[in-house]
Amino acid sequence: MTIDLEALYTDLHRHPELSFQETRTAGVVTGLLAQLGIEYEEGIGRTGIAAIIRNGDGPVVWLRADMDGLPVEERTGLAYASTARGVDPTGLDVPVMHACGHDMHVASLIGALERLVATKDEWSGTIVAVFQPAEEYGAGSQAMIADGVFDRFPRPDIVLGQHVTPLPAGTIGVRSGTQMAASDGLTVTLHGRGGHGSRPHATIDPVVMAAATVMRLQTIVSREVDPRDVAVVTVGSIHAGLKNNIIPAEAKLELSLRYPDDEARAKVMQKVERIVRAEAQASGAEQEPVIAVDHSLPPTINDDEATTRLSRAFDTAFGAGTVIDPGMFTGSEDVSWFAREAGVPLVFWFWGGVDAGAFRAATEAGTIERDIPTNHSPFFAPVLQPTLSRGVENLVVAAREFLGERG
Q: Residues 41 to 100: which contact a copy of itself by CB under 8 A?
A: 70-72, 88, 91-94, 99-100
Is residue 86 within 8 Å of residue 94, measured between CB atoms?
yes
Instruction: For the CB of residue 29, give the shortest distance to a copy of itself in the complex, in Å.
Output: 24
Binding residue for a copy of itself (CB under 8 A) from 221, 272, 392, 397?
221
CA distance linking residue 95 with residue 15, whole number of Å: 11
User: Toward a copy of itself, which CB reaches closer, 27 or 327?
Assistant: 327
Instruction: For the CB of residue 65, give the shortest distance to a copy of itself in the complex, in Å.
Output: 19
Contact call for residue 303 and a copy of itself (CB under 8 A): no
Contact call for residue 340 and a copy of itself (CB under 8 A): no
| Cis, peptide link before residue 227, omega less than 30° from 0 | no
Contact call for residue 177 and a copy of itself (CB under 8 A): no
CA distance linking residue 370 with residue 372, whole number of Å: 6
Contact call for residue 241 and a copy of itself (CB under 8 A): yes
76 contacts: CB under 8 Å, gap ≥ 6:
378, 379, 380, 381
Contact call for residue 195 and a copy of itself (CB under 8 A): yes
Contact call for residue 331 and a copy of itself (CB under 8 A): yes
Binding residue for a copy of itself (CB under 8 A) from 1, 57, 151, 201?
201
User: Toward a copy of itself, which CB reaches closer, 30 or 375?
Assistant: 375
CA distance linking residue 346 with residue 349, whole number of Å: 10
Binding residue for a copy of itself (CB under 8 A) from 57, 121, 226, 364?
226
Binding residue for a copy of itself (CB under 8 A) from 76, 187, 308, 389?
187
Distances in Å between the Cα of 113 and the Cα atoms of 31, 172, 328, 392, 403 are 13, 20, 29, 9, 14
CA distance linking residue 166 with residue 380, whole number of Å: 9
Contact call for residue 228 and a copy of itself (CB under 8 A): yes
Instruction: List residues forming the annotated binding site for Mn(2+).
Output: 100, 102, 136, 163
CA distance linking residue 290 with residue 168, whole number of Å: 43
Distances in Å between the Cα of 373 and the Cα atoms of 126, 167, 210, 263 are 37, 11, 29, 32
Binding residue for a copy of itself (CB under 8 A) from 24, 115, 120, 216?
216
Comparing CA positions, the residue from 296, 50, 67 lying closest to residue 156 is 50
Stretch that binds a copy of itself, among 106-114, 279-287, 306-314, 353-361 (CB under 8 A): 279-287
Binding residue for a copy of itself (CB under 8 A) from 1, 151, 245, 320?
245
- The residues in 355-374 that bind a copy of itself, with binding defined as CB under 8 A, are 369, 373-374
Beta bridge partners of 40: 51
User: Toward a copy of itself, which CB reaches closer, 111 or 161?
Assistant: 161
Stretch that binds a copy of itself, among 107-115, 215-223, 299-307, 346-354 (CB under 8 A): 215-223
In the chain, the amino acid numbered 261 is: D
- The residues in 125-144 that bind a copy of itself, with binding defined as CB under 8 A, are 136
Angle in degrees, 0-180, between the axes of helices 23-36 and 5-14, rounded to the nearest 10: 160
213 contacts: CB under 8 Å, gap ≥ 6:
188, 190, 253, 275, 276, 279, 280
DSSP state of 47: T
User: Toward a copy of itself, which CB reaches closer, 93 or 121?
Assistant: 93
Is residue 21 within 8 Å of residue 120, measured between CB atoms?
no
Contact call for residue 288 and a copy of itself (CB under 8 A): no
User: Toward a copy of itself, which CB reaches closer, 157 or 279?
Assistant: 279
User: Toward a copy of itself, which CB reaches closer, 30 or 213?
Assistant: 213
CA distance linking residue 191 with residue 280, whole number of Å: 8
24 sits in which H/E element: helix 23-36
Instruction: For the CB of residue 235, give the shortest distance to a copy of itself in the complex, in Å.
Output: 5
